[in-house]
Every structure is written in structure tokens, then in C-alpha cells.
Structure 1
Amino acid sequence: MSTFYTHITGNKIKSVLLMGFLPLILLFILLIATSASSYAGQGHFDWPQIEKMLLGILPFVLILSLVWALIAWYLGDRMILGFSGAKPLEKKSNSAIYNLVENLAITAGLPTPKIYILNDDSLNAFATGRNPNKASLALTTGIISKLNKQELESVIGHEMSHIGNYDIRFMLVAIIMVGVIQFVADIALRNFYYGNRSRSSDDHGGGGVILLAVILIYLLGFVGTVLVQLAISRKREFMADASSAQLTRNPLSLASALRKIATDSKLEILKGKKSIGHLCIADPFKDSRNLENPALKKSNWFLRLWQTHPPILERVQALEEMGS
């Protein structure tokens, strides 16, 4: 039988292993790009030249990664709160919410996060911040008004778990790595395109190699990276569900909350802001995730690959198993 601990440990290991694929993808793209360029220029793979090209590119990639990381580290949470339209929640008239958050923070051994409100009747929530001392928690007006106390506590516990598990930092690293990989892939593809236009007809038979390199770089850089990022997001959601159940000792209340959230999780204010979607407790871009929809009970592995969140039905079933 699955327990809090097996769910948390299993999903933590899987997400770390998935993260390990991203630097490997970057190295493969760099190797493919330099090897194809060498072959197109000389008609064979000049490995000393390829090594020299790789060593010349890597410092640029590292500097780019550092710059993006610094921007995201210091401005990321403010940008997310600004994009979402979140406003500070007034403590005087919302003391019950503050009490729930403060009590869960004490139980989890975490600082109390800043609390924000999203003026939206849908049911959703998210947490942001580079570490527990800089964390913020945002709740929609809909989730506050439509959930009972135990359900709301479990949702807050889910978001507190993201904070305590450093999921926000973990996903920030993943997003930065994906951004860098896609930037490098884009430069490589542009280089092949313009280089091929200016290359003479005597290309040492490198046209086929370039075409293969373009296909591989596109698949790795723009498909593979996204699939890995989404898979990491899904594993961290499962982990936060289990951590919330452990924190509140009430997995069934989170299961009940998710059933209600499933009926209306769409956040209109986030329309067009896909980069924020993975932060929410449920997909904020879908018109409906009603569990009674028969289509959601069918396992379509291909469609699931492109989702930021696991199917809510699976999350509910896992929580109910913990509570049995």
C-alpha cells in the first residue's frame, strides 16, 4: 500500500533523474551541431576541431545560463505576482486565512509566506519565491469561498509543501536550463540555415548530415526539453499532494478539494502566460477538468505527455489510497 513517504520519495527521485536529462540534451545538441559543421566543411568528422569548437562554445553557454539565472533569481517572484494580478490579502478582514497559513507554517517548520489574493471566481492557488524566506502564497477568491475549512487547509498545505520542498527553485532551474537549451538550439539552426545558403555546391556531401542534424536538434531542443520540463512538473505535483497529506494528516480533504477544483480551475487573468501555469495547483488554462467527463477517465499517454499537471483523477485516487 502506498504511504506518504513512498509517494514523496518516489517522485523526488524521479524528478531528480528527469532533471539530469537536461544537461545531457544540451551536450548532445552541442555535439551534433559542431560535428555536422565539421563534416559539412571538410567531408569528414575532424574530432580535434570538434573538441576545439565545443570548448569555445561552452563558456558562452555558461555565461548565458548565469545571466538568466540571476535575472530569474532576483526578479522571478515579483514578475509572477505582477503577471497574475495578485494583491496582498488584508489580514484584518481575513484572519481565518492567516491563521490557517500560520498554523501550517509552524507545523511544517517554515516561515509564514506573504499571502496574496487573486480576484477570480475560479478555484486555484499557487506559491512562488526562490526560498522559504522569500515565499508568497496566492489564493483565488473562488477557492476561498467555495472550499470548506479542511479542504482549504489541504490546498494551503499543498502550496506550503511546494515551498518546503524547494519545488519553485527546482522548477526555476529547469525553466532556465530549457531556455538556454532552446536558445542554443535556435542559434545552431539559424547557423545551418544561413550557412547552407552561402555554402558552395561542393559541400563534401554534407547536405544530408546537416539535414539530419537539423531534425535531431529540433527534436531535442524544442520537443525533448519541453517534455522533460512537463514531466518534472507532474512529479513535483504528486510530491506536493503527498506532502500536504502528511502535513495535515488528512489526505481525503485534499482529494475532496481537488474534486471541486476540477470543476473550474481556469484563471482568465493568466491567459497567454503559459510559463506560470505549472505553479498552480491545477491547470489554469482549461475550460473544465470535471472528473465526470468520460474523456478524462481514458488513458491517452500522448496527450498526458503535454500536460503540466497529472490528471486530477489520478491525484484523487492516490490520495484516497493514502487515506484508506
Structure 2
Amino acid sequence: MEQQPRLLEDHIRKNKRDTVVICMFMVILLFSVIFMVGLILGAPPILTMMIGLPIALFYIFITYSFSVQSVISAAGARPANPQNREEKILIYKVEEMALAAGLPTPKVYVQDTHHINAFATGHKPGDSIICATTGALQQLNTAELEGVVGHEMSHIRNRDILVMTVTVGVVGAIALLAEIALRMLLWGGAGRGGGKKGEGNIIIVVVALVFIILAPIFSRLTYLAISRKREYLADADGAYLTRNPEGLAKALEKIKADFPDDPKGSKTVAPLYIANPFKRALRESIWSTHPPIDERIRRLRSM
């Protein structure tokens, strides 16, 4: 752990640079999809951009603006009660980790479920929220709870919430635009032309159509890859904040053992949890929002 601070600071700086690059890439991808939609529908590209771009950006803005309320509502979370002993300990741990991370203290929420989990949300450190389940408060010891809170605080410090919110918004907008384009193509066909111009239009439409079909898949895979990478970094950063990697490692072991066979709740919130509660997320897959828990534990114990 001696060289961990410098290495971790390098990772955090790189992560912040990556944040800008990722957001720019996703917006460029969105622009490209809008442009291709115009080609498929036979509309002038400039007209498509003038109409489609504001709609897509408005969609992302709405997703971003209401993301916190949507997450808290979907989770059925409530503010932590300082009169409750277990919830008071959670509040103290959040305050300690905020001080260690040099961040404003997030609001503390609790989700009433006996399963062990936690998540963070918010637009920026100043309005962030950390939420833990009652199962986490009841089944984790102090060191394990601290490890979980440190992990979530790291997501806030590394601006992961901003990246994932923007990325989810762009992925949703791309999927929506692709669906609209394909449906309109089926209903009314693409722009038509005659002779060589018509043949050229067909080639353009085919290329655009392939792009439209692949763009949602590619954007989704990009989002998932980003999510998995940032989970690893949050584990490492959280271990640095607590100076105790074993605390988080043991918490992850308990979380893995506690996964429900038939998970309930909103899948919207699932990617935000410290571990996705849906069983299929335990398997190593390019479609997983989280890396394998066993690998996360191994990395923590090798620190």
C-alpha cells in the first residue's frame, strides 16, 4: 500500500481526463446517428441535425436533470434516521469518508431491504447521495460497512456518476433514434431516386442502416466497459480511503453470498449498486455492468 497513493492519484487524474474524452465520444456518436437517420429517411442532413439534435440533447438533459430523483424513487429509498443506531453509524461513516476524500458530506439515504447493497448518485459532489440497504447495516461489521462507503465515496470523487448519467442518456437517445429510423423506414421507405443517383442512394442507405443497427449495440458495450473499469478503480480508491482493502473484500464476499435467487426491484438502479443484484450479473460477460466479484476480491487482497 506504500506506493498506492501516487499510483491512485495518477489513476484518478487519468480517469478525469477519460471522463471528458468519453463524454465527447458519446456525443459525437450521437451526432453520427442523427446524421445517418437523415440519410436513411432521405431528408437533408442539415435539416435532420437542426431537428434531431435539439431533441436528442433535450432527452439527455432531462435524463440528467431528473436522474437523482428517478434513482431514489425507483429504489424506494428514504433519508437516514439519526435516531436509529445502525443508521447513525452509517451517517458517521459517510462523514468520515467524505473528510478522507476531501469532499462535501453527501446526503445519506437508506433502502429498506434485507439484502446487502449500496449505491451513490448525484450530479456532482456537492449534491451527491450515498444509500445503503438495511441489510448492509445489519449484516456488515464496522470495517466492512466502511469499505462499502469508501467505494461509493470514490465513485463520487472520480465523477463516475456524471459519466454514467451522461452515457446512459446518450445510449438511450441512440436507441430511441435507431428505433424511430427503422420503424419509419419500414413504414415509408427511404429517400428514392432514379438512375445512378438512385443506385448511389441505395448504397448510402444500406451503409447508414448498418450503422444505425450497430450503433446502439456499440454504445451499450462502451457503456458497460466503462462501468466495469470504474468499479475496479472505485474498489482501489475506496481501499485507499479506508486503508483497509480487507474490509471491502469481506463485504463483497457477504454480498455475493447474499444475492437473491429471484431479485426484486428496479433494474434501472441495478447498475449503480456496489454489486448488481441480478444473478446473471455474477457471470463474467461483456454484457455485465460489474466485473466478477471474485476478481474484485482477488485484486483487493493483492493490494
TM-score for both structures, normalised by structure 1: 0.79
Residue ranges of structure 1 left out of the alignment (5+ in a row): 39-49, 290-295, 297-302
- 2: CA distance between counterparts of 1:73 and 1:199? 38
Say yes or no: does 1:275 pair with 2:268.
Answer: yes
Say yes or no: does 1:173 pair with 2:177.
Answer: no
Once the two structures are superposed, residues 253-279 of structure 1 have per-residue CA deviations (whole angstroms, 9 ceiling, x without a partner) of 211211111122449442xx3222211
Counting only pairs closer than 5 Å after superposition, residues 212-291 of structure 1 correspond to structure 2 as 212-220=207-215, 222-266=216-260, 268-270=263-265, 273-286=266-279, 289=282
Say yes or no: does 1:136 pair with 2:129.
Answer: yes
2:116 match: secondary structure: coil
Say yes or no: does 1:79 pair with 2:76.
Answer: no
Contact 2:34 2:52 in 1 (8 A): no
Alignment coverage as a number of residue pairs: 294
Residue 32 of structure 2 aligns to which amino acid in structure 1? F
Alignment match, 1:97: 90
* 1:193 CA displacement: 1.7
Alignment match, 2:150: 157
Identity of paired residues, percent? Answer: 37
* 1:175 CA displacement: 1.3
- 1: CA distance between counterparts of 2:61 and 2:18? 27
Alignment match, 1:43: none
- 2: CA distance between counterparts of 1:98 and 1:204? 66
Is the alpha carbon distance of 1:264 and 1:10 closer, same or farther for their aligned partners in structure 2, counting shifts above 3 Å?
farther
Once the two structures are superposed, residues 129-172 of structure 1 have per-residue CA deviations (whole angstroms, 9 ceiling, x without a partner) of 11222111111111112211111101001111111222111111
1:193 match: secondary structure: helix
Once the two structures are superposed, residues 22-49 of structure 1 have per-residue CA deviations (whole angstroms, 9 ceiling, x without a partner) of 23433433444444555xxxxxxxxxxx
Using CA pairs under 8 Å that are at least 6 residues apart, name the structure with larger relative contact order, 1 or 2: 1
2:289 match: secondary structure: coil
- 1: CA distance between counterparts of 2:287 and 2:45? 32
Runs of at least 4 residues of structure 1 off by over 3 A? 1-4, 6-21, 30-38, 197-213, 265-269
Counting only pairs closer than 5 Å after superposition, residues 196-207 of structure 1 correspond to structure 2 as 196=189, 204-205=198-199
Once the two structures are superposed, residues 281-303 of structure 1 have per-residue CA deviations (whole angstroms, 9 ceiling, x without a partner) of 001222794xxxxxx5xxxxxx6
Correspondent of 1:185 among 178, 182, 203: 178
Contact 1:265 1:282 in 2 (8 A): no
Give me the CA root mean square deviation: 3.0
* 1:306 CA displacement: 0.3
Query: Greater shift after overlay, 2-11 or 89-98?
Result: 2-11
Residue 140 of structure 1 aligns to which amino acid in structure 2? T
- 2: CA distance between counterparts of 1:188 and 1:197? 10
TM-score for both structures, normalised by structure 2: 0.84
Contact 1:124 1:265 in 2 (8 A): no
1:263 match: secondary structure: helix
* 1:102 CA displacement: 1.2
Say yes or no: does 1:195 pair with 2:188.
Answer: yes
- 1: CA distance between counterparts of 2:274 and 2:225? 15
Counting only pairs closer than 5 Å after superposition, residues 289-308 of structure 1 correspond to structure 2 as 289=282, 304-308=285-289
Contact 1:265 1:288 in 2 (8 A): no
- 2: CA distance between counterparts of 1:23 and 1:104? 33
